[in-house]
A and B are shown apart, each in its own frame.
Chain A
């Protein structure tokens, strides 16, 4: 259960699950509140394994996410690559934070990604999302400890290094 190939599989599977969560149907009222699952998962891997998950992976995952959710090609790619870049710069600090402080850091990263997405969509179309739009990073930050613990268990179980 070790070796680089196996680890890649584990990362891919967690990302696939996150993408699945991004497109799983939800009731109409809950749709604007869908957390940024893929960003959360990719952030975890970037912080845990900065030598394997880089800006390039962020870009590729972002493109796939764009195609998956039908947004402008590059919208998620831009946000994810920038956020991953920041996360890799700060990964040693974020790792030693307690959970709530980590959540705070993640919140800022999620807000940056969301803000970039808003700029892109604002520059290309006229829809101005309501206040619910800003609840999304908050929900994401609240989910962070659980995502973190789950993924750390996964990582240790599959011995991904």
Chain B
């Protein structure tokens, strides 16, 4: 009993047990596989026995869709080239190149009060801890433990997950924290007077260095501004189909050189005062608090 208490504390506070957990997870992989088997089997049966007509229709649809996407991609490529050229002009070029791998969710239920899923690609495919996971629509979460053939993904809606984001419309930076409910994120660190409206799209800001910048995350759904509170309570709905997607994308970011302006300089305090430490600590509190979870090692400026 004492041992389990110690384990609890150690696992919660430190990350030394990650190795033990990964080893044990490898041993329990057969159970996960077994639980997933009926669903994989029905999926396979469904695919092999579907009629020629259905397959043809599906094929036609996919070809149409592919054509559309290719057309979009042409536009996107020229835009990217233009973007690079412009960045060259202002001397702040950085390469954005991401490699992705498609993985499938295992039909396995974990603790209902934690937002985690298991996917069928592990370290054998190159997955690593802290790797971003997307679905076809938006950011889903990040890998928190890997075994050779499977890995566990913490969804962005888990209460222990915080994600540096910015509003696409005006670049306002903040942090999106999970609420523990699927389909809901909150933005607890925005002051009452910040420029954000319902319907704003939030994208990853790339601060923190774990998620590549510019991927959509969520749409702002509700804003409660009460005049006596320092921060407004803002809820957002994840764009990713967290409870419906079966295919997910694992992303490798090709190491990029961030422009110098992206690294916040602690010496750059707007109002240098003798009692700076206390002052800036109080100011930084919202930002630093949100970093306690595993997301962002880079100090964050308070969003104003």
Mark A residues whose CB is within 8 Å of B.
16, 19-20, 22-26, 28, 31-32, 34, 55, 59, 62-64, 67-75, 77-78, 81-82, 85, 120-121, 124-127, 129
- Of the 9-residue stretches B17-25, B68-76, B282-290, which lies at the interface with chain A? B17-25
B107 touches A78 (CB 8 A): no
Q: A77-B7, A78-B8 are in contact. Are A68 and B114 (CB under 8 A)?
A: no
Q: A26-B109, A59-B3 are in contact. Are A73 and B20 (CB under 8 A)?
A: yes
Nearest neighbor of B20 in chain A, beta-carbon distance: A73
What B residues does A126 contact at CB under 8 A? Answer: 159, 180
What A residues does B28 contact at CB under 8 A? Answer: 19, 64, 67-68
What B residues does A23 contact at CB under 8 A? Answer: 31-32, 35, 108-110
Q: A70-B116, A73-B17 are in contact. Are A125 and B7 (CB under 8 A)?
A: no
A64 touches B111 (CB 8 A): no
Q: Complex: how many Å from CA A81 to CA B6?
A: 14
Q: Complex: how many Å from CA A64 to CA B6?
A: 16
Q: Complex: how many Å from CA A41 to CA B116?
A: 26
A24 touches B8 (CB 8 A): no
What B residues does A71 contact at CB under 8 A? Answer: 111, 114
Nearest neighbor of A78 in chain B, beta-carbon distance: B4
Q: Complex: how many Å from CA A92 to CA B17?
A: 38
The one of A16, A19, A67 in contact with B21, judged by C-beta atoms closer than 8 angstroms, is A67
What B residues does A72 contact at CB under 8 A? Answer: 8, 11-12
Q: How far is the CB of A42 from chain B (nearest CB, A)?
A: 15
A19 touches B31 (CB 8 A): yes
Taking A34-B109, A125-B159 as given, write out 9 further A-B residue pairs in contact, using a Cβ cutoff of 8 Å, ordered by the A residue number. Answer: A19-B28, A20-B31, A20-B35, A24-B108, A63-B24, A64-B28, A68-B31, A69-B111, A82-B1
A25 touches B108 (CB 8 A): yes
A78 touches B1 (CB 8 A): yes
Q: A23-B31, A23-B32, A78-B1 are in contact. Are A67 and B25 (CB under 8 A)?
A: yes
Q: Complex: how many Å from CA A34 to CA B115?
A: 16
Asked whether any CB of chain A lies closer than 8 Å to the CB of B149, the reply is no
Q: Complex: how many Å from CA A67 to CA B113?
A: 15
What A residues does B114 contact at CB under 8 A? Answer: 70-71
A75 touches B109 (CB 8 A): no
Q: A64-B28, A73-B7 are in contact. Are A32 and B21 (CB under 8 A)?
A: no
A70 touches B152 (CB 8 A): yes
Q: How far is the CB of B96 from chain A (nearest CB, A)?
A: 32
A25 touches B159 (CB 8 A): no
Q: How far is the CB of B80 from chain A (nearest CB, A)?
A: 38
Q: Complex: how many Å from CA A129 to CA B17?
A: 27
